[in-house]
Amino acid sequence: MRDILDDIDRWRQDGRRVAVARVVDVEGSGPRDPGASMAVSEDGEVAGSVSGGCVEGAVVGEALRILHGDQQPRLVTFGYSDDEAFAVGLTCGGTIHLFIEPLDW
């Protein structure tokens, strides 16, 4: 979170809405530990990362859907072991659980 605060501040000063995605749990081999975070502005700017670049694209899409009200804040799972998992996987074979929500608190 520390590394994305400056970008979040800048976007909020411009009056742009922001969504935040955080790694909350990792099973097996995962590139980033719980607490790794990225922020997405409503116009699609990105700060930080939640994996080694494997799932960031899909996270931006999910974050924008949440900011546009097409999706509720929720846990999202990326990986191969879960039937519900996104089509996007992690090259390292692990599973990560992200919580994605608007920064409206």
Partner 1 sequence: MYEVLRDRIRSTEPVALVTVVDGPNIGAKLLVRPGHPAEGTLGDAELDRIVGRDALAELEAATTGVRHYGPRGETTPEDLIDTDTVAVFVESFAPPPQMWIFGAVDFTAALAKVAKMLGYRVTVCDAREVFATKRRFPMADEVLVSWPGRLFSERGSSLGPRDAVCVLTHDSKFDVPAVMGAIGTPVGYIGVMGSRKTHAKRMERLAEAGLTEPDQLERLMSPIGLDIGARTPEETAISICAEIISRRTGRQSPSLRDGAGAIHS
Binding site for partner 1 (CB under 8 A): 1-2, 5, 8-9, 22, 24-26, 28-31, 33-35, 72-75, 92, 94, 97, 99, 101, 103, 105
At position 101, the amino acid (one-letter code) is E
CB of 60 to partner 1, least distance (A): 19
Nearest residue to 30 (alpha-carbon basis) of 78, 88, 87: 78
- Beta carbon nearer to partner 1, 61 or 102: 102
- Beta carbon nearer to partner 1, 27 or 43: 27
Q: Helices marked H in the chain — which ranges?
A: 5-13, 56-67
At position 79, the amino acid (one-letter code) is G
Cα(90)–Cα(79) distance, integer angstroms: 6
- Beta carbon nearer to partner 1, 2 or 83: 2
Please, what is the Cα angle at 84 between 73 and 77, to 5 degrees? Answer: 50
- Beta carbon nearer to partner 1, 8 or 67: 8
CB of 24 to partner 1, least distance (A): 4
